[in-house]
């Protein structure tokens, strides 16, 4: 994948050529991913000192799994490291709607159509995909991304859809994906998380050690147009942010250790 050393010597006129070419016509989402991949391999980016450029994609074949919430908070965390953009590839534009709830967003959120125009301004890109990406979309995402995060609540129906997702990824040779358990019950008596982990282990599906518990603070964050760590007056907001912080740090450690960036 592209890193700061690879792109540092690229010429500014190459960047301008590709962005002007792509911005002249409308393309479906999967084609934007192909163009983005070409752009990222030929254009100049300016990550902060000590920060490697990366693309993290959040994907699922099922809605309501915490995909946009995860994308929003991954972008918020990466923004604290270097300039980050969240690409909202979902026709519902949930991430864009979330960001528009405030006049001072923590980071920029754009549609996939805007990526050619704004992509080169950022050190990191987070992609919130549409629900149920096609196999062709998945192939492009695998080619473009350093890591695919697959959010899933620890329920039977959600896990069944997750297995379908991982089967698609395995069929195209993906080894960059990892499951994130979301909406985990805060009830200490619940065995949902443990049962889900046992099921995923039996299926040989990689899963993050961290998990995202279910808190009302996320709803308040969406209403405020902010990540959950900026929610005021909710004692669980800091706990919810700590969940994401733990998972994202785990993800970054894995990406850097693998040499994917």
Is 80 exceeded by the pLDDT of residue 238?
yes
Tokens of 162: 């997750």
Half-sphere exposure of 218 (CA within 13 A, CB side): 20
Q: For residues 7 and 46, is the Cβ–Cβ distance under 8 A?
A: no
Q: How far apart are CA 142 and CA 169, in angstroms?
A: 8
Of the chain, the percentage scoring pLDDT greater than 70 comes to 79
| Inter-CA distances, 189 with 57, 185, 186, Å | 33, 9, 9
> What mean pLDDT is predicted for residues 241-254?
95
Is 60 exceeded by the pLDDT of residue 29?
no
pLDDT winner (highest mean) among 170-179, 188-197, 235-244: 235-244
> What mean pLDDT is predicted for residues 51-65?
87
Domains in the chain, ordered, with CATH? 52-258 (3.40.50.300)
Q: What is the pLDDT of residue 26?
A: 34
| Inter-CA distances, 135 with 144, 166, 179, Å | 14, 11, 18
Secondary structure, 3-state, 211-260: CCECCCHHHHHHHHCCCHHHCCCCCCHHHHHHHHHHHHHHHHHHHHHHCC
Q: For residues 145 and 87, is the Cβ–Cβ distance under 8 A?
A: no
Three-state SS for 135?
A: helix
> What mean pLDDT is predicted for residues 46-65?
75
| Inter-CA distances, 138 with 3, 56, 98, 135, Å | 22, 13, 25, 5
Is 70 exceeded by the pLDDT of residue 185?
yes
Q: What is the pLDDT of residue 1?
A: 34
């Amino acid at each position: 994948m592209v890193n700061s050393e690879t792109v540092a010597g690229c010429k500014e006129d190459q960047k301008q050529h590709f962005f002007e070419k792509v911005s002249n016509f409308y393309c479906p989402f999967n084609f934007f991913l192909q163009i983005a991949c070409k752009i990222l391999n030929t254009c100049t980016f300016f990550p902060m000192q000590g920060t490697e450029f990366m693309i993290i994609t959040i994907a699922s074949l099922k809605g309501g799994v915490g995909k946009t919430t995860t994308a929003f908070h991954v972008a918020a965390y990466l923004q604290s490291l270097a300039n980050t953009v969240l690409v909202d590839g979902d026709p519902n534009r949930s991430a864009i709607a979330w960001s528009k709830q405030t006049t001072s967003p923590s980071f920029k959120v754009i549609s996939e159509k805007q990526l050619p125009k704004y992509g080169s301004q950022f050190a990191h890109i987070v992609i919130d995909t549409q629900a149920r990406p096609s196999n062709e979309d998945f192939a492009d995402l695998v080619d473009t991304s350093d890591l695919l995060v697959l959010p899933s609540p620890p329920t039977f129906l959600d896990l069944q859809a997750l297995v379908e997702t991982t089967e698609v990824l395995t069929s195209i040779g993906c080894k960059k994906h990892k499951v994130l358990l979301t909406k985990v019950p805060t009830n200490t008596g619940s065995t949902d998380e443990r049962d889900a982990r046992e099921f995923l282990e039996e299926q040989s599906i990689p899963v993050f050690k961290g998990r995202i518990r279910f808190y009302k603070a996320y709803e308040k964050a969406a209403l405020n147009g902010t990540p959950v760590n900026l929610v005021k007056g909710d004692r669980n907001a800091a706990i919810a942010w700590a969940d994401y912080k733990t998972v994202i740090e785990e993800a970054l450690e894995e990406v850097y250790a693998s040499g994917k960036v």
